[in-house]
Structures are given as C-alpha cells and as structure tokens.
Amino acid sequence: MVTGHTIRAQIEGMEFTLFYDYDQLRDGKLSRLTDDGKIDWFRLRMGCVFLEPLRRLFDVSSKAFRELNSDTQQPYTYFGIAAFSVLLNGVEALGSFLPALSSGKGEKRDSFVAFVRTYMTPWDTTVAGTSHTVDYLTDILWRHFRNGIAHSFVIEGGGIDPDADAARYLVQGGYLEIGPNAFFDDFLRAIQVFLGDIGSTHGASFLQRFQEVYPC
C-alpha cells in the first residue's frame, strides 16, 4: 500500500516522503535543507507525484493506459482528455517557477507561456486557418484546450488526435487537432532541461517561488 508515510528519498542525510505535509508541516525537514537540497527534493517530488504517473497515462503499453482507455468492453473508457488536461496544468505549474512575464493577460497564462516559450519552442508559434480568434498556438492551447477542459470539460474548436502526432498539429476544416503524444514527448524533453536549469540559470527565481509554494 502506498501511504504518505512511505520513505521515498534520502537527501542530505535525512529521509523524505516527498509530501510537503509530512516532510515540512509535520517534520520540519525542508527547513533544514540547503538550497541544493531543496532543488533535489523538488526534482524527486516531481518525478514521484507528476512525471512518472503521467508517463504511464501516455504509454500505450502500460497497464494504466490499457485500464483507462478501452473500446472493447463496457463501460467504454477514454482518459486522453483528462490526461492532456493534467499535462497542460503541469506546463502552467512549472512555468510559475520561471522569471515572471508581464503581459497583463493574467499570471497563470503568463506562467504557461513562459514555459512553452523557454522550453517548448516548436509550440511557440502561430497557426493559420483555425476557427479561433487568435493565431498564437500557445494562446490557443491555453484558452481553448487548457481552460476549455478545466472550466467546461470540452476542447473548444478542436481536439487531440494521435493522427496529428507526426506533424505535431493539424488544421482540418478550421478545427485544430493537437498530437497529444508529440506534445508529451516535447514536454518530456523540456522538463529535463528545466530541471537542470533550476540549479543554475533560473536558480534565484526558482528558489523564490519554491519558498512561496512550500514555505519552510
């Protein structure tokens, strides 16, 4: 059984569950870590609670994928939209640890754009021929995919389709189809670079945001 009490990491001679409520609120251990130790804790936590579970949701050979996506038995199940929503929210969350943009269009949107612009440049582009009122692909992903799913559980003016993976995205009759696996693969590459940068390039902004999110 997986519990919050399970020890999942050893950092600077201390044992950690990688859950903030136990590691800091109960045990006060994050406060005793150096800056490098806090970065290590964050990396390991992201792997545990986000990245590795997400890998299984996108891996067609995994047991999790097979159990959550089935056209061969009732009730029929398709977890692709929910998985893509988790992925897009992860982009926003990680972007909040980067130096802030100041577009005036909203803090959460700016975090999303910051991560894509910095680490997922193939998606930092414009796309013509869609039914949307904007042609900046990152804004479309934010407004009509991320917000559409989060606020009304619908992708507005398009969808996700593995047939679009080879080209990353396709426009068909005004509808934008995003290749979910292509986006996820680009995200995997992006997060590895991001996790390397938080110890160097973006260290100051990361640690400032870390203190806001995980007060210690």
H/E stretch holding 110 reads helix 107-119
> Among 82-96, 161-175, 199-213, which is the least confidently predicted range?
199-213
Res. 102: pLDDT tops 70? no
Complete DSSP assignment for 200-211: TTTHHHHHHHHH
Average of per-residue pLDDT across 179-195 = 96
pLDDT tens track for 63-81: 999 999 988 878 899 999 9
Average of per-residue pLDDT across 159-174 = 96
Which residues are paired to 178 by β-bridges?
Answer: 160, 169
pLDDT confidence of residue 71: 83
**What is the pLDDT of the chain when averaged over all its residues?**
93
Token pair in block for residue 166: 């080879």
Domain ranges for the chain: 9-213
**Residue 129 — pLDDT band, cuts 50, 70, 90?**
very high
pLDDT confidence of residue 1: 58
Task: Provide the 8-state DSSP code for 126.
Answer: B
**Residue 39 — pLDDT band, cuts 50, 70, 90?**
very high
**Residue 161 — pLDDT band, cuts 50, 70, 90?**
very high
pLDDT above 90 covers a percentage of the chain that reads 87
Res. 173: pLDDT tops 70? yes
Among positive and negative, which fits the CA dihedral 86, 62, 167, 132? Answer: negative
Burial class (CB in 10 A: 0-12, 13-18, 19+), 37: middle
Residues 6+ apart with CB under 8 A from 85: 146, 149, 150
Closest CA to 178 of 119, 211, 138, 147: 138
Average of per-residue pLDDT across 180-199 = 95
